[in-house]
Amino acid sequence: MSVKVFIDGKEGTTGLKIFERFAKRSDIEILTIDDEKRKDPVEKAKMINASDYTFLCLPDAAAIESAQLCTNPNTVIIDASTAHRTNPDWAYGFPELDASFRSKIEKSNRIAVPGCYASGFIALGYPLVKSGIMPSDYPVTIHAVSGYSGAGKKAIAQYEAEDRDPGLDSPRLYALTQAHKHLPEMKKISGLDYEPIFNPYVCDYFQGMTVTVGLHSRLLGKKVTAHDVWEMMSEHYKDATFVKVAGFMGEGTLPEQFIPANTLAGTNNMQIFVYGNDDRIMLTSRFDNLGKGASGAAVQCLNIRMGIDETTSLI
């Protein structure tokens, strides 16, 4: 028996990727809306309330409006926008963080999919704070790089234009005012007292992401070595299907001492690396900004909510 799914915003990057992931699934029936009516609230309400699951792949304001159109108490809303990620009434869609996150996803009719950069940081920050290694008031700085697919349809067109601006040939730092939309969830979900400094770069490759946090051991809540931090992270994610901690210093995973950002493109996997020395400890998460950072995470949440194998249609 199939479930009915509506993707509100199927024309965007995340919506298209979710649609592609359902292509070979016999347990999913996609509800479609005429192109000329895709912004009509009456027609959208019909689709949302006729569905078992609705994905919102929309800007924040539009996602809020669409969520409010839902009057069917049995319809599950899975929102890929920023709009509901810090709302306590919504499950936060990162089941690997701990059992309470997974349990809430299993039961909730409102699920907020994490942001891409936020996923990369929270995968590091949440265990560090929970373990007591990193104090909640630690002055966190995050450095991150992403492929240009994460910048949206307009930016993708700019990067792929034949006569593009030469400035697009190099990594570009942005979010200069420290007001990036992922910061509130980074702070709340990780358990931090203050928003971190966040330095993201968009780069000249299509997809893939790394997010890096550095720690000064003298400022930590416990006296630990880099290896101690690696052991804690390894234990935290030992049972996770999609999140894996690489060998210490990348042993067994990195043939050279480089961490390329695009090697997990096309998957829903995330790798975590711990390296550095006992004075300055470094952690990096690597994943696909369109996978575990967007559509893959959304489909994983659907699978968990359906009560089926969470890896279904994911690699």
The pLDDT averaged over each successive group of 10 residues in the chain (315 residues) is: 92 91 94 87 96 97 97 98 98 98 98 98 98 98 96 90 93 97 98 98 97 98 96 98 97 94 97 96 98 97 98 94
- Which residue type sits at 75? T
Query: Hunting for tokens 């695009």 — which residue is that?
Result: 262
Q: pLDDT (tens digit, 9 = 90+) per residue, 176-232?
A: 999 999 999 999 999 999 999 999 999 999 999 999 999 999 999 999 999 999 999
- The 3-state DSSP class for residue 79 equals strand
- The 3-state DSSP class for residue 279 equals coil
Q: pLDDT (tens digit, 9 = 90+) per residue, 29-43?
A: 999 998 888 889 999
Sign of CA dihedral 82, 88, 92, 96: positive
* CA distance linking residue 287 with residue 243, whole number of Å: 9
Query: Of 57, 70, 116, 203, which residue is the catalytic one?
Result: 116
- Does the annotation count 116 as an active-site position? yes
pTM of the model: 0.96
